[in-house]
Amino acid sequence: MSISKTRLQNNPLLVIVGPTAVGKTQVSIELARRLDAEIVSADSRLFYRGMDIGTAKPTPAERQGIPHHLIDVADPDEVWSLALFQQAAHQAIGAIHARGKLPILVGGTGQYVKAVIEGWQPPEQPPIPSLRAVLERMAAEQGKDAMHAMLTFLDPIAAQKIDPRNVRRTIRALEVIFSTGRRFSDQRRKTSSPYQVQIIGLTRNRKILYERVDARIEQMLQQGFLDEVRRLLEKYPPDLPAFSAIGYRQMIEVVQGKRTLEEAVAEIKRLTRRYVRQQGAWFREEDPQIHWFDLDQISFEEIFTFVYSWWKEVSQNESSMAK
């Protein structure tokens, strides 16, 4: 179902959230196919070309016939900041509206989704290469925990929202603090959302979800995850921020002979389960703005019926406005 190909004035945006391996890709693609919609990825792991297997990136076959945006938009040695993603996402969504189609924002990276739908305005302070180099050297010498502890001392609110393993974000927050003399958290502002948002959340029983996580990791190995990492290391250094994604760091250590494949797989499964729990902090099941669907209990048709009803109402309102 699609309305006439004219610019959508009320800026509808369907958002699909949920933890890793819950089934967002399959649901979003089927919804896009039935609604003649386009998908905008809000998963920071999918930006990078060549990082396909370890990120569970939708395959070309899965994407066929369904326009996908913000997948394969950068090389691994390019850094995509939150502000850059936000700008690109708004541009993609605006172009989809201009085509009279429904954009579907799909993500497991909570802050990227929130930045788009809540009108975040990241700090405007541009990077300072010399300061960043000093902070990166400190991180290399003292470790990520020491850098995060420094951020906790200077700006506990920002530190609470930044994963200690995400050294790049920790360094960016410290860079802004040192260059402006103000807390990073005080400089991140919100404006009203530019979209008419409908959020659906996908969930499963935690035990089943963990089983799906483990099965996905085993499938990655069968698909050639280790060979993918070897190919990447032929072109890029192993310490790129892009390779901090769960799985890549562990597989790099296998290639380097620092750990066995069995040890790496066990670590990837453990960290992915922890990441699943962390994702729940961004989108809580008690949030009244999110309509949750338990994929262990309901069929896709129930999700489609809900979304179609909303989209039909949006379309009718748009037609009324156009008269």
Which pLDDT score is estimated for 320? 55
Q: Tell me whether residue 3 is in a domain.
A: no
120 vs 299: which has the higher pLDDT: 299
Query: Exposed (0-12), middle (13-18) or buried (19+): which is 179, by Cβ within 10 Å?
Result: middle
pLDDT category, 318, cuts 50, 70, 90?
low
Which pLDDT score is estimated for 287? 87
Position 319 pLDDT exceeds 60: no
Which pLDDT score is estimated for 241? 85
Q: Tell me whether residue 163 is in a domain.
A: yes
Q: Tell me whether residue 51 is in a domain.
A: yes
Position 18 pLDDT exceeds 90: yes
Which of 48-57, 146-155, 277-286 has the least mean pLDDT?
277-286
Q: Please choose, from the candidates 187, 120, 123, 185, the residue with its C-alpha nearest in 3D space to the C-alpha of residue 157.
A: 185
Which range of 247-251, 280-284, 314-318 scores highest in mean pLDDT? It is 247-251
pLDDT category, 123, cuts 50, 70, 90?
low
58 is in an annotated binding site: no
24 is in an annotated binding site: yes
Average pLDDT over residues 142-154: 91
Position 323 pLDDT exceeds 90: no
Q: Could you tell me if 294 and 200 lie in one domain? A: yes
Average pLDDT over residues 145-173: 87
182 vs 113: which has the higher pLDDT: 113
Q: Could you tell me if 248 and 214 lie in one domain? A: yes
Domain tally, the chain? 2
Which pLDDT score is estimated for 187? 67
Q: Tell me whether residue 76 is in a domain.
A: yes
Q: Tell me whether residue 104 is in a domain.
A: yes
Q: Could you tell me if 101 and 144 lie in one domain? A: no
CATH code, domain with 84: 3.40.50.300
Using alpha carbons, list the distances in angstroms from residue 73 to 63, 69, 263, 313. 15, 8, 32, 34
pLDDT category, 162, cuts 50, 70, 90?
confident
25 is in an annotated binding site: yes
18 is in an annotated binding site: yes
143 is in an annotated binding site: no
Query: Where in the sequence is the domain holding 234, given as residue range(s)?
Result: 12-121+191-322
Position 296 pLDDT exceeds 90: yes
pLDDT digits (tens, 9 = 90+) for 206-228: 999 999 999 999 999 999 999 99
pLDDT digits (tens, 9 = 90+) for 30-58: 999 999 999 999 998 899 999 999 999 99
179 vs 28: which has the higher pLDDT: 28
Computed over its alpha carbons, how large is the radius of gyration of the chain?
20
Which of 72-76, 208-212, 277-281 has the least mean pLDDT?
277-281
Q: Could you tell me if 311 and 244 lie in one domain? A: yes
Q: Tell me whether residue 1 is in a domain.
A: no
SS3 assignment for 213-275: HHHHHHHHHHHCHHHHHHHHHCCCCCCCHHHHCCCHHHHHHHHCCCCCHHHHHHHHHHHHHHH
17 is in an annotated binding site: no
> pTM, whole model, 2 decimals?
0.80
